[in-house]
Amino acid sequence: LLRLAPAYHSLLKEGKEIELVPQEEEIADIKWVDVEDYFHQDLWMSSPLYREMNGALLEAARNSHKESTELRSGGTISPDTSQAIGYVGKKLPIGWRP
């Protein structure tokens, strides 16, 4: 994920390239986290919106893994057995943004 400072916006509009320099200290400090542990952090769980979004993402990832496993073992995925997963419009309790 990358967010450029506003100073770079004019360069992009002019079609110029921006050199991206890896931050070695940040890369060295990366720690992999199990997806379940990440989604179930207190920060996300206390927000109705993030709980809902992360739940949909987790369900989509599980379904994708299940379908990939099925295909690798020689099976097929038909539209009748494949699940449609994603976001739906609904009213959530008032929450906050982390």
pLDDT tens for the 98 residues of the chain, in order: 567 788 888 888 899 988 888 889 988 988 888 888 888 888 888 888 888 888 888 888 888 878 788 888 887 766 655 566 777 788 888 876 65
Average pLDDT, the chain: 81
pLDDT attached to residue 73: 85
One-letter amino acid at 82 equals: S
Cα(53)–Cα(56) distance, integer angstroms: 5
pLDDT attached to residue 96: 65
How crowded is residue 57: how many other Cβ atoms within 10 Å of its Cβ?
A: 15
In degrees and rounded to multiples of 5, residue 82 shows phi and psi of -75, 135
| First-last CA distance in the chain | 17
